[in-house]
Amino acid sequence: MERKGTFIFGISILTLSVILNFFTYRFSNFGKFFFYIILIEPVFSITFLALYGLNGKKILKGLISIKWIILIISAIFVWAYIVLVMNLGTTEVTYLMESLYYPSFFEQSIFALVGIETMSLYFKRGTSILISALFYEAYYFVVLINSLPGFPGLYFPLFILDSFAIGLIYIGLYAVSKSIYVSMTLQISLLMMIVFIPPLPAAFFYTLVPS
């Protein structure tokens, strides 16, 4: 695929993700329908870019990198082991496995991989990270506009800053490592910390994981 075509595809996927998330929250009767489309996006986007994108070989290399695969698998086993040792039951294990795909795999595939691999065609790495993080923020801004009573006062701007900041971290990790498994490992760990850390300290980590 030519450079311009790859770029347009990436922008379209990023924009579509934000729009679908808005519809998912806004229309309760059809929310699941839009959410299912969101779940299909990562596999479709990665496959398409890997086969036809200008950076296809680099994307495939990152996906099959043994050292990063070992990292994410190790993280999964460690958290699963902690859950079992603490006798928390199957609910937390289910939460871990579900979070592995959504939001972790979805967000890192769309906003990190697709974002960086398309933005970098026209922008420098730092600018690409910032633009991709803005799309990530827009994705979570939908939560605010659909749940305004839940974010009174300073919580509103803090949520915006938090989601943008963690977006920078996730996307920056991908830009450096060229693999979504690194940022996925971080996100899974932050999500699981919510389960184990007492409420007050956990509030800090919760601000890093918009949901």
pLDDT at 137: 94
List the alpha helices (DSSP H) in the chain: 3-26, 31-52, 56-63, 66-85, 90-99, 106-107, 115-119, 125-146, 155-177, 180-196, 199-207
Buried b (16+ CB within 10 A) or exposed e, 97-131: eebbeebbbbbbbbbbbbbbbbbbbebeeeebbbb
Instruction: Supply 187's token pair.
Output: 């996100």
Considering its fold, how many domains does the chain have in total? 1
Q: What is the mean pLDDT of each run of 10 residues along the chain (211 residues)?
A: 85 93 77 79 89 84 94 93 80 86 93 94 95 95 76 79 94 95 94 70 49 48
**Rg of the chain's alpha carbons, rounded to an integer?**
17
Q: What is the pLDDT of residue 110?
A: 96
Residues 85, 114: Cα–Cα separation, whole Å: 37
* pTM, entire model: 0.87
- Nearest CA to 54 out of 106, 114, 133, 129 is that of 114
What are the φ and ψ backbone dihedral angles of 57, each rounded to 5 degrees?
-65, -40
Q: Give the tokens for residue 201.
A: 């300290």
Which structural domain, as residue segments, surrounds residue 196?
Answer: 3-207
Q: What confidence score (pLDDT) does residue 130 get?
A: 97
Pair 194, 205: CB distance under 8 Å: yes
Instruction: Indicate the angle between helix axes 66-85 and 90-99, nearest 10 degrees.
Output: 160
pLDDT on residue 54: 77
Q: What is the pLDDT, as a whole number, of residue 83?
A: 84
